[in-house]
């Protein structure tokens, strides 16, 4: 089925080739560096005989493609064809002959080039006919060939202390929902943002899971792209695998995210969960790692990541942006700002919510009313922004997003505040001997936590600190069995979700009392993700010392029951998880080596991935591993039975009068998710029910056609929709798109003209300062990288008021524009405040000026 899904418009440029010619070229060498195979690449352009090396060497084949615009190239070892323009694998049989008839399914009437011409819009764009779903699209049975030689067992070469990256990539590669998305829906890996991490990841997954199964590949392109964005991974020092995972998943989400259509509702009728979610969606709280019940990480707004997404080869910034050094500082600053105290965020979130009332049961305590208060807007134009309620989703958020509900009760007035937080992984503390005793004792229901178990009991003072450090060092060196019972993953989860007393330095700021009060915090999971990522906090960094907790944590390979940590009102149906992969770290806090143990989804056997070495191991080997990061997947026999039932229905030849179109992304969820949720066709429809013009060119990558009996079964089981029997390009969206494009062009041209005149001034009397954060958003809009215009100009972060005058804050991220440019932008977007700089005027003494003129006249006369 892959053959029919990977149409490439560049296949027409392929010349006459034979397999014998390719085999003969494989015995040659790179025409530039003379290196010999394997993994040479041959250009397929007509009348071009170039052969170049791949990523494992200098990658002359890619350089040749960029210089000559010859996009198609074939690997002379695996005979796979790659298109640099489409950034995906293509197949020559698409060009050499018409595709064979699809089994058991009637073909729709198509023209010779698989397009239809009856969907017309003013720009003469046409829609291609989506393919018909066949047995392979929904089949989950393992082919006999895969049983003999399972795919996905390809190693990754170490390219300079990159074992942390290789282990993380192998663990993600063996998460079927994510990998199947890139293999089956690779056409959706589209982005205009640089460095296009999603395209590099797509290429890597295609190589790792190809049937030819090469021994190892080099993830050079992906690594290079991540290094350009995150300076932490530059150089050749050892890095943290969990931090790399977080960075990679953030970048993939940022490039693949799409705005979710939401029906506007009356704010007064929102539930507490909806109010919280909508408020969070305005700032696009995309990813955070739930460190503990007393701390959380929150993403900054999108401007930081948008700055990294700019094309480095672009002509110039309209206002010159920061160089690599500034990018590095911004990244580190954003990383530091993301670590905020959850107790403080509780107050902020409590203020930010729309006022609603709900009831919460606090573990057999009395039921109290929850009041979540709203915040009056500080900006004049904010009501206009508030109606937008932007919310984004991507395949990353669909798979890894979960929700934690936190409740804090004031012990003075009994007021309870509730917050919902999205997480992509749980960072669990590893409890010590004393903590285990308290966890297992009914007489100590409350455990005070401060980041990880044991910190709350740490003595104060330098001598006590030194003694505590020595104690931890000795504990880390002595086998764990010497100190007490075995720590289980359930113990770590119980420590994470234990009740937390907020007192002393960690008191709760009660909104009702208007004072710091003692409080109690409770955490439960409202929604479990499809794949749960668990990070065990083995590393401690204190001042100049770093230590590693080597305590063995036992974990189940199957049947991880998370029911005890589920909120009572949660709609979750499946709370049992099976292990997919585990990342292990061997060594100390200062040096070590990462490997990954992964279960192959095709044969259910466990393998050890140690860089380019892949070895089959027993289950006991995995269970004895020193786990650092674990990936668990929801387990459901019911979902597997449902997939088999639907797959069998495709074999039944049943005439249908109607054909239904369904989202490829949702079908991928149906194939790989335990809970795929309602059918969601809105990922290829606009709010008017048609195809958005920007998606018309690749509609075949978004949609599959289903027979009526299949649609009826899926719809009756999962609901959702909407049902789509006819595809057409939305004329309303086309008109709106043309208006937006005209607006972009006008604003950009006027700005360039005004800014050019400003640059030509010798000594401007005044400079108007503008926030670069807002300016980057506006620049992304006028350059077509962001579909929505920015809000009002917000100079509050760069302005400071002194003696009643608004002045530029020292070190602020700002740019300078002319008064005319400021008036132009302010007339469109509004906002403020005005921040004006006036260069100092040098006063010259008239007598000195006359003396200088006299000397100049005498000099000329001589």
The residues annotated with a catalytic role in the active site are 163, 593
Q: Which helix (H) or strand (E) segment is 416 a member of? A: strand 416-423
Contact 678, 686 (CB under 8 A): no
CA 22 centroid distance within chain: 39
The per-residue DSSP string of 216-258 comes to EE--HHHHHHHHHH-GGG-SSS---HHHHHHHHHHHHHHHH-E
**DSSP 8-class letter at 194:** T
Tokens of 63: 């350089």
Contact 687, 677 (CB under 8 A): no
Strand partners, 315: none
Going from the C-alpha of 90 to that of each of 76, 346, 380, 697, the distances in angstroms are 15, 51, 53, 18
ω before 722 within 30° of 0 (cis)? Answer: yes
Angle between helices 637-649 and 708-718 (to 10 degrees): 160
**DSSP 8-class letter at 789:** -
Contact 720, 744 (CB under 8 A): no
CA atoms within 13 A on the CB side of 802: 7
| DSSP H helices in 589-636 | 619-623
Task: Scan for tokens 């919902």, then name that residue.
Answer: 420
Per-residue b or e along 209-224, where b marks 16 or more CB atoms closer than 10 Å to that residue's CB: bbeebbebbbbbbbbe
Report the 10 Å Cβ neighbour count for 374.
14
Cα Rg for the chain, rounded, in angstroms?
Answer: 30
Q: How far apart are CA 624 and CA 10, in angstroms?
A: 51
Contact 138, 646 (CB under 8 A): yes
Q: Is 838 helix (H, G, I), strand (E, B) or coil?
A: coil
Going from the C-alpha of 166 to that of each of 177, 216, 217, 400, the distances in angstroms are 19, 11, 11, 20
Tokens of 336: 């530091």
Per-residue b or e along 94-107, where b marks 16 or more CB atoms closer than 10 Å to that residue's CB: bbeeeeeebeebee
Sign for the CA dihedral angle at 754, 759, 765, 766 comes to: positive
Per-residue b or e along 528-566, where b marks 16 or more CB atoms closer than 10 Å to that residue's CB: bbbbbbbbbbbebeeeeeebbbbbbbebebeebebeebe
Contact 633, 399 (CB under 8 A): no
Angle between helices 176-184 and 163-173 (to 10 degrees): 80
The per-residue DSSP string of 94-154 comes to HHHSPPPPPTTSPPPP--TTSB------TT---PBPPEEP-HHHH--PPPHHHHHS-SS--
Q: How far apart are CA 555 and CA 551, in angstroms?
A: 13
CA 631 centroid distance within chain: 17
Strand partners, 409: 416, 520
Strands 531-536 and 425-428: parallel
Going from the C-alpha of 202 to that of each of 41, 180, 454, the distances in angstroms are 19, 11, 43
Among 748, 761, 752, 700, CA closest to 727: 700
Q: How far apart are CA 850 and CA 855, in angstroms?
A: 9
CA 628 centroid distance within chain: 21
């Amino acid at each position: 089925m892959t053959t029919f899904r990977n149409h490439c418009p560049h296949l027409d440029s392929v010349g006459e080739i034979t397999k014998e010619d390719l085999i003969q070229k494989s015995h040659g060498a790179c025409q530039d560096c003379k290196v010999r195979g394997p993994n040479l690449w041959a250009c397929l352009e007509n009348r071009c005989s170039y052969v170049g090396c791949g990523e494992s060497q200098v990658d002359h084949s890619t350089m040749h493609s960029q210089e000559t615009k010859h996009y198609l190239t074939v690997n002379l070892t695996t005979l796979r064809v790659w298109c640099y323009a489409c950034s995906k694998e293509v197949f020559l049989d698409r060009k050499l002959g018409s595709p064979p008839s699809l089994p058991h399914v009637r073909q729709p009437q198509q023209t010779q080039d698989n397009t239809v011409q009856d969907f017309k819009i003013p720009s003469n764009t046409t829609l291609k006919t989506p393919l018909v779903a066949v047995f392979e699209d929904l089949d989950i049975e393992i082919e006999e060939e895969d049983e003999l030689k399972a795919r996905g067992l390809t190693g990754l070469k170490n390219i300079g202390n990159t074992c942390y990256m290789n282990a993380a990539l192998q663990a993600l590669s063996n998460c079927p929902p994510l990998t199947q998305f890139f293999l089956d829906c690779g056409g959706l890996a589209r982005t205009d943002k640089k460095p296009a991490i999603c395209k590099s990841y797509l290429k890597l997954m295609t190589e790792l899971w190809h049937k030819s199964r090469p021994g190892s590949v080099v993830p050079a392109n992906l690594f290079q792209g991540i290094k350009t964005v995150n300076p932490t991974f530059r150089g050749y020092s050892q890095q943290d695998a969990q931090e790399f995972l977080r960075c990679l998943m953030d970048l993939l989400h940022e490039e693949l995210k799409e705005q979710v259509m939401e029906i506007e509702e009356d704010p007064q009728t929102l539930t507490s969960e909806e109010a919280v979610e909508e408020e969070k969606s305005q700032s696009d709280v995309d990813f955070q790692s739930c460190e503990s019940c007393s701390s959380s990480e929150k993403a900054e707004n999108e401007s930081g990541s948008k700055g990294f997404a700019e094309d480095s080869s672009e002509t110039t910034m309209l206002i010159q942006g920061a160089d690599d050094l500034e990018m590095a500082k911004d990244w580190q600053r954003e990383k530091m700002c993301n670590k905020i105290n959850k107790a403080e965020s509780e107050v902020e979130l409590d203020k930010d919510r729309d006022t609603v009332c709900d009831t919460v049961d606090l573990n057999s305590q009395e039921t109290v009313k929850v009041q979540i208060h709203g915040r009056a807007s500080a900006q004049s134009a904010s009501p206009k922004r508030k109606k937008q309620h932007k919310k984004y989703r991507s395949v990353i958020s669909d798979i890894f997003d979960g929700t934690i509900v936190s409740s804090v009760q004031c012990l003075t007035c009994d007021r309870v505040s509730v917050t919902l937080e999205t997480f992509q992984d749980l960072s669990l503390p590893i409890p010590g001997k004393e903590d285990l005793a308290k966890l297992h004792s009914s007489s100590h229901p409350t455990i005070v936590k401060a980041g990880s178990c044991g910190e709350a009991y740490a003595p104060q003072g330098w001598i006590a600190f030194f003694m505590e450090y020595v104690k931890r060092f000795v504990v880390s060196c002595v086998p764990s069995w010497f100190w007490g019972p075995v720590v289980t993953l359930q113990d770590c989860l119980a420590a994470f979700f234990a009740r937390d007393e907020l007192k002393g330095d960690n008191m709760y700021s009660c909104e009702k009392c208007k004072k710091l009060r003692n409080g109690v915090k409770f955490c439960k999971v409202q929604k479990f993700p499809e794949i749960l990522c668990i990070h065990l906090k083995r590393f401690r960094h204190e001042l100049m010392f770093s230590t590693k907790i080597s305590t063995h944590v036992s974990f189940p390979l199957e049947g991880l029951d998370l029911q005890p940590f589920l909120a009572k009102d949660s709609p979750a149906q499946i709370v049992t998880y099976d292990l997919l992969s585990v990342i292990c770290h061997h060594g100390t806090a200062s040096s070590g080596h990462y490997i990954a143990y992964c279960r192959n989804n095709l044969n259910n056997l466990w393998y050890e991935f140690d860089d380019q070495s892949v070895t089959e191991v027993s289950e006991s080997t995995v269970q004895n591993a020193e786990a650092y990061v674990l990936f668990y997947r929801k387990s459901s026999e019911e979902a597997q039975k449902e997939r088999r039932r639907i797959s069998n229905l495709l074999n039944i030849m049943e005439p249908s009068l109607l054909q239904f179109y369904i989202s490829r992304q949702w079908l991928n969820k149906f194939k790989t998710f335990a809970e795929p949720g309602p059918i969601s066709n809105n990922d290829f429809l606009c709010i008017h029910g048609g195809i958005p013009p920007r998606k018309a060119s690749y509609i075949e990558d978004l949609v599959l056609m289903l027979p009526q009996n299949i649609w009826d079964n899926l719809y009756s089981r999962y609901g959702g929709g909407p049902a789509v029997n006819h595809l057409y390009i939305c004329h309303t969206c086309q008109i709106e798109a043309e208006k937006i494009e005209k607006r972009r062009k006008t604003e950009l041209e006027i700005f360039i003209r005004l800014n050019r005149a400003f640059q030509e001034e010798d000594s401007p009397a005044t400079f108007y300062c503008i926030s670069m954060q807002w300016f980057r958003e506006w620049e992304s809009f006028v350059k077509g990288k962001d579909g929505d215009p920015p809000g009002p100009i917000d100079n509050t972060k760069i302005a400071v008021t002194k003696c009643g005058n608004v002045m530029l804050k020292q070190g602020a991220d700002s740019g300078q524009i002319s008064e005319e440019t400021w008036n132009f932008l302010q007339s469109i977007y509004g906002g403020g405040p005005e921040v004006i700089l006036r260069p100092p005027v040098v006063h010259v003494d008239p007598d000195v000026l006359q003396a200088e003129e006299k000397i100049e006249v005498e000099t000329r006369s001589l």
